[in-house]
Amino acid sequence: MSTPADWSADDFAARLRDRLRSAEPAQTEVPPEQQQLRQAAALLTSFDPGSLHPAGAAPTGTGFQLVDDCTARAGQARTAWALRSDVRATALQSFAGPEEARLALETNIGSAPRHAAERLALRYLRGDPPVLENLDVESLLHAREAVSWLSLVPGVPGLPEAEEIERLLDHRRLVEPLHSLLRHGFAGRARELDVLRRHVGLLPARHWRARMADAGRAVNGWLGRANGELPLVVTGPGGVGKSTLMARFLLDHVDRPGGRVPWVHVDFESATLRIQEPVSLVAEMARQLAAQYPDEAPALDDLRSSARSQSRLQRQQFEELDELEDVVTTRASLGREAKYRYHTQTRDEDAQAAHTLGRTLRRAVARHPAATGEEPPLIVALDSFEEAQYRASPILDRMWAMFTALRDAYPQTRVVVAGRAPVGHPAAPAEEVPTLTLGDLDEAAAVHLLRTLGVTDPVARALVERIGGNPLSLQLAADVAVRMQHTGDDGDWVRTVPARRRRLFGAVDDMLIQGVLYYRLLSHITNPDVRRLAHPGLVLRRITPAIIEQVLAPVCGVDVSRPGRADELFEELARELDLVDRTAPDVLRHRADVRRVMVRLVAEDRAEATRELERRAVAFYAASRRPEDRVEEVYHRLRLGQGAQEIEARWLSELAPLLDGVADELPARSAKLLARLQRSMPAEATAQDDQADWEHRTADEAENLLTQGYAAEALTLLSARRPWTTGSPLHAVRVEALLRTGDLAQARQAVADALAEPGIEENGDAYLELLLLSARIAAESGDVEWADDDLALAERTATRMGRDLDALGALLQRTRLPDSADAGDHHQHDLVTELAHRVEAMPEEILAGQTSLVRAVAAAVGDRVPAVLARALDLVGLPAHSPPARTALARAIADTAHDQPAVVDVISRTADPLAERPPEPNAGEVERLLHDAEQRGLLDELARELLTLRDDTGSLRAGIAAAMSADLPPVVREPPGSPPAP
């Protein structure tokens, strides 16, 4: 019979599984030998049962006796086991004192596959505790585990409080990304740092010119001119050092002695928040400030949770409104006004959240007053801001409103944003926004940086003379130089690098230089397998062991058949490639600025290999259901230039923000397709665009201006490059802008001229949209018959073209027209009947994707055709989390409750079955009950049940119909007002 000492690791694993399944009752008394083994394992994260032994005894393999006390440690290279938490706690408490615990740990620390926590525990037991302030995040996590063990051992002195470790962890998690940005060195930029320091106004400038400017700023403050009212924008091309400058500037303030400074750092390229939902920035700011001000952490955590919920709701609302864009007749009739209302509402919500954050921070700061008695500045540093940095961006408009509200609540707010382009927006024209443009490092700073990175002085000077002062080029050159120095090269290789020409070709030369340097860097990778993987691997945005095994290795001719080989190659790639970031234990990401330069060069150098690599990547990611893998799948499909039908079949709306900033890496056709899928405006239109491209890009920009209420600015934008092409989208946008300014006569003339163009009927989208705008102008002029004629023509045209949803939208608008004395009631009745018939006959899968349109139809006919209301409730439901919808429904219920007691029974039973039945609730009480029902996900069910009740007056049907349309523009519309000042 075998004994535990004879068991293999597989035997042990099998027996462990059997014992865990058997669920035998635990022994009440532990044999002495087993107790000693428990103590031997109690201070080990995990252990090898074959080498575990009590202090003072030789290893005999008796550790297998702990099979009932253990759980497996997953992901280890060899079998390793750990005590269950309850067994560990008992064993730790059983030590006589620290000395016995120290002996047990010293005896067995070698049996732990990884022993970072064990070594820290041993330092505490030996009376040599670590300085927690000097530990990084990973070491602090190990220290937290070690202290949690030792706190159970009787009599261990000098242990820190758990709260202290958590506080340091929170702080380290904030500052380590900044230190990581500076790991490649920092030099020069004294002038730029002084500009940033002046913007904050806390640290003194370094040079006399800057100190003179500080004096001028102080005079301005005395005269009442505020400092820092607008964000300071740091601009420059990729690789010029914006992120490192921001990191150095922040750390100068964070590490300064003499009192804490509240600060926030967000990199939109790597953060989990969505720049398209600015309120998510409030959530991230609350998270970071909670780590800095634990006293206010509960309030900040609540604000974070609220902001994240608001962000999700805004996303849902936008997706529903965005469906209106898919149907021309709803885009022209409902879409623009709905988007304006949405933008106004969300801008106010974002601003309110930011204002609440500022008030909460003031309370937090008041608990820790500075020696001067003044509130310290709040520094908000936003990096990779490119996606909001284009003219007319609605995102930027909402951001500006947030900054304004935050500054109102916390006047010492100082915002710095960094991106590749200047900020220009009607709310803050580029000439008014303070801007700091980064260029190359000067010669002295460039040489100093290279020397800091380990390059000898003669080579450093030769490199700067040859390649200039671009920080990315210098970083790559330093990596190559250090490797060459190790081989004994004294700098002769520098002459093989292309020389950088000045002025005209500088940017092109930088890319060429960086490409040559990166190739040379790859050539110095010693392991040939790693070298073969690294070169085409740049095409992939992510590298994991699984991707190496299934995607990279087969294309690169690398053998990974041996178990664990892919993991080994992954670790070597992480060590050899200094320009990758390890974003997770098993995920490497190439630095974005390096990829932008190299991805095109790699694709040109090994075109067929890279295409095969990307085809394999598509297949690899397509087999996954994880959203982050779908992003990579679509990215590589776009890179391969696949058609719109293939990519649209794999598209999800949540992918849009995750593919921001990749257009430069795509073929031109794919870049246009991505912009359409994202519904984002491409880069600004230029004189080099052909007329059709210019018109579409300008239409996008003008639409964004209208969304924000900037109608006059939209008209100015539309005044260029006339005449436009027949069917240009600019005609409809111009008519809408004229209507927004109240110029009805000019709008009527503009739409008439556009409809009179030869061949306009052949441009389906443009023709339908112009007909609906013509109808709108006629209705607002009081000519309802003309409006009905235009809409009837639009309906017939859409039907002839087989565009059922467009026909439905046009018919909907006919039912929304004011009554005409000549038409009579029968005409309106016929329209309602036809609309109800069409929506009832339309397939469910088509209607389910048109939430706003279905609700608008239900609102128009539901009080007369209850079946349409019932179908709308089944397909799309009532607007979620909408106070206007609840108010409309509550009023109808309260008005009906007196004559129809069953109504009260329905809402009481559905909203809160345990609550007392109110006799005759008023609208306020009903609205509270409806809110409770919505929180429990029962509001649609309640509305369905109300539809089954007797409703002689039609009040209930009318109330549900009104709730359906509560978030849609009203039938009688007024031009939006002017946008609020920032």
The whole-number pLDDT of residue 898 equals: 76
Q: Which residues pair with 978 in a beta bridge?
A: none
Is residue 260 within 8 Å of residue 367, measured between CB atoms?
no
- Residue partners of 642: CB distance under 8 A and separation at least 6: 670
C-alpha–C-alpha distance, residues 784 and 954, integer Å: 27
Residue 951, classed as helix, strand or coil, is coil
Is residue 537 within 8 Å of residue 552, measured between CB atoms?
yes
pTM for this prediction: 0.80
C-alpha–C-alpha distance, residues 522 and 768, integer Å: 57
Is residue 905 within 8 Å of residue 893, measured between CB atoms?
no
The whole-number pLDDT of residue 499 equals: 79
- Nearest in space to 254 (alpha carbons), one of 229, 213, 288: 288
Assigned token pair, 498? 């292309």
Q: Residue 666 has what DSSP assignment?
A: S
- Give the rounded distance of the alpha carbon of 925 from its chain centre: 39
Is residue 350 within 8 Å of residue 402, measured between CB atoms?
yes
Assigned token pair, 349? 């919500």
- Nearest in space to 967 (alpha carbons), one of 854, 815, 846: 854
C-alpha–C-alpha distance, residues 435 and 428, integer Å: 12
Is residue 483 within 8 Å of residue 453, measured between CB atoms?
no
Is residue 820 within 8 Å of residue 788, measured between CB atoms?
yes
Buried b (16+ CB within 10 A) or exposed e, 51-65: ebbbbeeeeebbbbb
Is residue 457 within 8 Å of residue 449, measured between CB atoms?
no
Q: 501, exposed or middle or buried, with CB in 10 Å at 0-12, 13-18, 19+? A: exposed
233: left (phi over 0), alpha (psi -120 to 50) or beta: beta
Cα–Cα distance list, 668 to 600, 636, 672, 673, 710 (Å): 13, 14, 6, 9, 31
Provide the residue count of the chain: 982
Mean pLDDT by 10 residues, the chain (982 residues): 49 52 54 87 84 76 77 54 89 93 88 76 92 87 93 93 88 87 84 92 66 43 48 85 91 82 87 76 94 91 93 85 80 84 92 96 87 83 77 83 94 91 74 85 89 88 87 84 79 80 56 77 80 81 88 89 86 76 77 70 69 90 86 90 87 77 80 76 50 84 90 89 87 93 92 90 88 91 90 92 90 82 65 88 86 88 87 89 88 82 78 58 81 85 87 86 83 50 48
What stretches of 623-667 show up as alpha helix (H) in DSSP?
A: 627-639, 644-650
What stretches of 741-824 show up as alpha helix (H) in DSSP?
A: 744-755, 764-780, 784-800, 804-815
- Residue partners of 497: CB distance under 8 A and separation at least 6: 463, 466, 467, 477, 513, 516, 517
503: left (phi over 0), alpha (psi -120 to 50) or beta: left
- Nearest in space to 510 (alpha carbons), one of 554, 477, 478: 477
CB atoms within 10 A of CB 18: 10
Residue 418, classed as helix, strand or coil, is strand
C-alpha–C-alpha distance, residues 255 and 270, integer Å: 24
Is residue 156 within 8 Å of residue 43, measured between CB atoms?
no
- Residue partners of 180: CB distance under 8 A and separation at least 6: 581
Q: 546, exposed or middle or buried, with CB in 10 Å at 0-12, 13-18, 19+? A: middle
- Nearest in space to 704 (alpha carbons), one of 725, 685, 689: 685
The whole-number pLDDT of residue 380 equals: 95
